[in-house]
């Protein structure tokens, strides 16, 4: 059977989920012919510019505009107009991808982005392709754009995510709450003592991991400064080279500074708490490492919804300022029983077999 795993490289979470599915199927389903494809290179130059630069610009410099855009595309008042107009724009902007789907005649299409799902679903409705379409929703909430007639199966993060789809008219037998796929590296047993030695940190100190995605956004420097006398702090600056340079020059006590890392699972394994942004794929990763999250800098829309849904399970907290972050860290450090109790809630949400359950429906 011929299987396409496809994503859009706007936002690393969609790519990581697609790669996780691809890697699992490659290693465990020798009967499948697999392709892993990013839709963005198929698009016209203007569309590529928007997807590669527009989203990062909005969430960094015009977050209010992103919030407005999200509301307009979700609200019943404007959703229909936005959806119809976007469908036309997407179809013509990504005509190469449309033609690729028609030409290749896949048996299954696994999509981790609503754009790819929408285009494939419409081709199915027009009887131009016959592939079974599996849409993997990469957040705990569900924006209406994820729902497309022609989809055969929705793979979602949690029971509450499933409830949201049910409320949008999706049939229960089309929803599988098996979780967001994540790299196999996040389920391997890690040795904290060995990793602490590798990173040159104290294995016995209460450790806070400060990591907010590939852009290193948010008040990371201020948080590190406020916590450095209370705990051991690991700061991942990622692509934020200015932050990396400033923190290295300051040489704060108990603070270890990293640039862009390729082994986040190892940093998670030596940490007691993570302070992070609530992106869907990131949540799936650190929950399966049983790491309690403190959320900051949530993007309006999908990330705020992620925080709300996790709170329903008793997972995570979202302090309003650095003072409250500090209070949470002090409380968790001084009360290990409370931390262990909170970690038990993670088991309600963590889904360690997402890719395996996706594999089971490809037959």
DSSP H/E element including 336: helix 336-346
Give the distance from CA 266 to its chain's centroid.
18
pLDDT for 295-326, tens place per residue? 998 988 889 999 999 999 999 999 999 999 99
What residue spans define the domains of the chain? 2-183+352-360, 185-346
Q: Is the pLDDT of residue 11 over 90?
A: no
Q: What does the pLDDT average to over 32-58? A: 86
Q: Do 350 and 286 meet the contact criterion of CB atoms below 8 Å apart?
A: no
CATH pick for 185-346 out of 3.40.50.300, 3.40.50.720, 3.40.50.2000, 3.30.565.10: 3.40.50.2000
| Maximum average pLDDT range among 47-51, 330-334, 349-353 | 330-334
C-alpha to C-alpha distances, 170 to 16, 132, 164, 167, nearest whole angstrom: 26, 16, 9, 7
Q: Which pairs from 238-245 meet CB under 8 Å and 24+ separation?
A: 238/211, 238/212, 238/213, 238/214, 239/214, 239/215, 240/215, 240/216, 243/216, 244/216
Between 48 and 179, where is the model more confident? 179
Check residue 188 and give its pLDDT: 65
Average pLDDT across the chain, whole number:
92
pLDDT for 139-185, tens place per residue? 999 999 999 999 999 999 999 999 999 999 999 999 999 999 999 88
Check residue 301 and give its pLDDT: 86
Check residue 237 and give its pLDDT: 94
Check residue 325 and give its pLDDT: 97
In whole angstroms, what is the distance from residue 242 CA to residue 260 CA?
Answer: 13
Classify 2-183+352-360 by CATH class.
alpha beta
Between 88 and 231, where is the model more confident? 231
Report the percentage of the chain scoring pLDDT > 70. 99
> Which runs of E-coded beta strand occur in the chain?
2-7, 33-38, 108-111, 132-136, 153-155, 175-176, 207-211, 232-236, 255-258, 273-276, 292-295
Check residue 348 and give its pLDDT: 85
Between 297 and 26, where is the model more confident? 26
Report the percentage of the chain scoring pLDDT > 90. 74
Both structure tokens of 255: 């603070």
- Sheet of strand 108-111, all strands in order from the earlier edge strand to the far edge: 33-38, 2-7, 108-111, 132-136, 153-155, 175-176
Same topology between domain 2-183+352-360 and domain 185-346: yes
Q: List the one residue out of 46, 18, 11, 88 whose CA is nearest residue 301.
A: 11
């Amino acid at each position: 059977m011929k299987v396409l795993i496809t994503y859009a490289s706007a936002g690393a979470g969609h790519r990581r989920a697609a790669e996780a599915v691809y890697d699992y199927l490659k290693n465990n389903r020798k009967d499948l012919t697999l392709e892993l494809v990013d839709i963005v290179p198929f698009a016209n130059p203007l569309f590529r510019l928007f997807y590669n630069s527009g989203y990062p610009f909005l969430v960094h410099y015009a977050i209010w505009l992103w919030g407005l855009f999200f509301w307009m595309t979700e609200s019943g008042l404007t959703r229909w107009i936005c959806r119809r107009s976007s469908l036309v724009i997407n179809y013509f902007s990504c005509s190469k991808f449309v033609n690729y789907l028609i030409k290749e005649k896949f048996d299954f299409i696994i999509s981790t982005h609503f754009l790819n799902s929408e285009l494939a679903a419409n081709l199915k409705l027009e009887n131009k392709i016959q592939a079974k379409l599996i849409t993997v929703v990469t957040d705990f909430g569900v924006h209406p754009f994820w729902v497309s007639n022609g989809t055969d199966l929705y793979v979602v993060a949690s029971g509450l995510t499933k409830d949201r789809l049910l409320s949008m008219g999706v049939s229960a037998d089309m929803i599988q709450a098996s979780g967001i796929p994540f790299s196999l590296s996040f389920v391997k047993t890690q040795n904290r003592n060995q990793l602490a030695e590798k990173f040159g940190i104290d294995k016995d100190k209460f450790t806070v991991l400060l990591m907010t995605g590939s852009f290193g956004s948010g008040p990371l420097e201020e948080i590190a400064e406020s916590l450095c006398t209370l705990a051991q702090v690991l700061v991942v600056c990622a692509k934020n080279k200015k932050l990396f340079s400033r923190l290295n020059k300051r040489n704060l006590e108990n603070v270890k500074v990293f640039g862009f890392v390729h082994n986040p699972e190892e940093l998670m394994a030596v940490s007691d708490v993570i302070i992070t942004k609530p992106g869907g794929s990131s949540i799936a990763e650190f929950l399966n490492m049983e790491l309690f999250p403190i959320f900051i800098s949530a993007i309006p829309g999908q990330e705020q919804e992620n925080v709300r849904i996790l709170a329903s399970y008793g997972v995570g907290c979202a302090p309003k300022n650095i003072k409250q972050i500090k209070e949470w860290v002090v409380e968790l450090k001084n009360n290990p029983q409370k931390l262990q109790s909170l970690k038990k809630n993670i088991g309600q949400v963590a889904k360690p077999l997402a890719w395996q359950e996706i594999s089971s429906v490809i037959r």
